Amino acid sequence: YSLAEVALVTPMRDGMNLVAKEYVASKVDKRGVLILSERAGAARELSDAIIINPTDMGQLAEAMHEALVMPEDEQITRMTAMQALVKRYNVFSWTKLFMNQLAYTKMKQHTLATEMLTPTVTTQLLADYHAAKQRLLLLDYDGTLVGFHANPQRAEPDQELRHLLRALAEQPNTRVVIISGRDRTTLDKWLGDLPIDFITEHGVWLRAAGQEWELFQALRNDWMRDLRPVLELYVARTAGSFIEEKDFSLVWHYRRADADLGEVRARELLAHLSFMTANTDLQVMEGNKVLEIKNAGIHKGAAAARWLAAYPADFMLALGDDRTDEDTFRAMPPEAYTVRVGTGARSLARFNIGSPIEVRQLLRKLLA
């Protein structure tokens, strides 16, 4: 290093490249020229080097000539600046930077953490429920009232759940709303005879108890014939995945696919669909082992807000388990009890509960 008048460092791809920095650090007399590939991470710091594209042979030759004929005073100026940078950003500086960033990340995690629904909180929730004059319960279905099933059509409600929902809905001044991404036909078949409200397909179809189904707003579905072939391509490439077609949305399910392959294909499909739906009135939503393409602006939160306006309540409880339920939590007023089902995920919900089993236990306590 100390003998070399020019250092030529030309990686095609390099995270940092310490050779370039070692060369700079060794030049005690500050004479010497560094030629550095723009594809090395160090190029973002050592801007006083001659930066080149390593695949451009003409540029490389010109850089070598420039280095060999560079005046001594310019060499000293460039090397002094690079040495100051190398000295400043030493191993201790990098360690401090990383540790500070980790500490900041952990602090942000704590601020976004959701409190567990402890016995103390549960006691207060029950007291508020029984003291309320009007109650509104917004309940997600899959992953909240029932566990997930490899075949979504086999996740039908058991008799216990049906009796529980009926008992809650028949309590005075209590509205029970199933707010789900499922299609209205399935939920109507499973629970339509109960005196409860429905918000289905993430807010597309609405039905208050005893009334007819209505659309949240006029929607179009002519785009489905263009995007379905894309989903069919990923079904062919991902064993175990399948397509669900709703009235105004398409869903790609990969719960039955190999876990690793499913996640890889989901990321690929998400990127593909995001590109295709850019600058359109469509959106791509991620759920629990699903990707859904639907009309933009229609989501659980918008429908929940409509229910909150139509049926004011002084006790509100919203339960959900995945990203689509975050829209519901966002729409709820601060005093509402919002509960995320499952552990580990950050959420806008105030509280967290472990599983659908615990959800049913909580709902049974409301009847006590």
Label residue 110 by pLDDT band (50, 70, 90).
low
Show which of 271, 295, 319 is a domain's final residue: 295
**∠ CA 286-141-299, rounded to 5°:** 45
Residue for token pair 């370039």 = 20
What's the one-letter identity of residue 221? N
DSSP classification of residue 301: H
Do 233 and 254 belong to one domain? yes
Do 18 and 88 belong to one domain? yes
Instruction: Report the pLDDT averaged over residues 350-360.
Output: 95
**Using an 8 Å Cβ cutoff, are 28 and 2 in contact?**
yes
- Sign, CA dihedral 110-111-117-118, equals positive
Label residue 112 by pLDDT band (50, 70, 90).
low
Give the CATH number of the domain where residue 52 resides: 3.40.50.2000
**Using an 8 Å Cβ cutoff, are 243 and 228 in contact?**
yes
E strand or H helix that includes residue 9:
strand 6-9
Q: Does some domain include residue 1?
A: no
pLDDT digits over 283-338, tens only?
A: 999 988 999 999 998 999 999 999 999 999 999 999 999 889 999 999 999 999 99
Do 67 and 140 belong to one domain? no
CA distance 129 to 213: 29
Residue 15's pLDDT is what?
Answer: 84
Burial 289-300 (b: 16+ CB within 10 A, else e): bbbbbbbeebbb
- The torsion angle over the Cα atoms of residues 348, 353, 357 and 359, rounded to 10 degrees, is -60
What's the one-letter identity of residue 311? Y
Q: Does some domain include residue 131?
A: yes
Residue 111's pLDDT is what?
Answer: 61
Name residue 319's beta-bridge partners: 139, 339
Do 242 and 341 belong to one domain? no
User: What DSSP string runs through 175-212?
Assistant: EEEEE-SS-HHHHHHHHTTSS-EEEEGGGTEEE-TTS-
Provide the residue range defining the domain that includes 311: 120-217+298-367
**∠ CA 258-256-234, rounded to 5°:** 75
SS3 103: helix
pLDDT digits over 172-225, tens only?
A: 999 999 999 999 999 999 999 999 999 999 999 999 999 999 999 989 999 999
What's the one-letter identity of residue 139? L
Q: Which of 141, 137, 182 is nearest to 161 (CA)?
A: 141
**∠ CA 61-63-64, rounded to 5°:** 65
Q: Burial, 193: exposed, middle or buried (Cβ in 10 Å; 0-12, 13-18, 19+)?
A: exposed
Give the CATH number of the domain where residue 140 resides: 3.40.50.1000
CA distance 156 to 143: 12
Do 180 and 318 belong to one domain? yes
Residue 150's pLDDT is what?
Answer: 82
Q: Does some domain include residue 113?
A: no
Give catalytic residue positions. Answer: 140
**Using an 8 Å Cβ cutoff, are 348 and 328 in contact?**
no
Q: Which of 310, 342, 309 is nearest to 326 (CA)?
A: 342
Please tell me the pTM assigned to this model: 0.65
Number of domains in the chain: 3
Q: Does some domain include residue 114?
A: no
Tokens at 154, concatenated: 């086999």
Residue 344's pLDDT is what?
Answer: 67
Residue 107 has pLDDT above 90, yes or no: no
Q: In angstroms, what CA-CA distances link 354 with 144, 294, 358?
A: 10, 30, 6
Residue 113 has pLDDT above 70, yes or no: no
Do 262 and 236 belong to one domain? yes
Do 124 and 207 belong to one domain? yes
Helix residue ranges, H only, the chain? 18-26, 57-69, 72-88, 91-112, 119-131, 159-169, 184-191, 224-237, 259-276, 300-310, 326-331, 356-367
**Using an 8 Å Cβ cutoff, are 162 and 174 in contact?**
no
**Using an 8 Å Cβ cutoff, are 230 and 270 in contact?**
no
pLDDT digits over 41-79, tens only?
A: 889 889 899 999 999 999 999 999 999 999 999 999 999
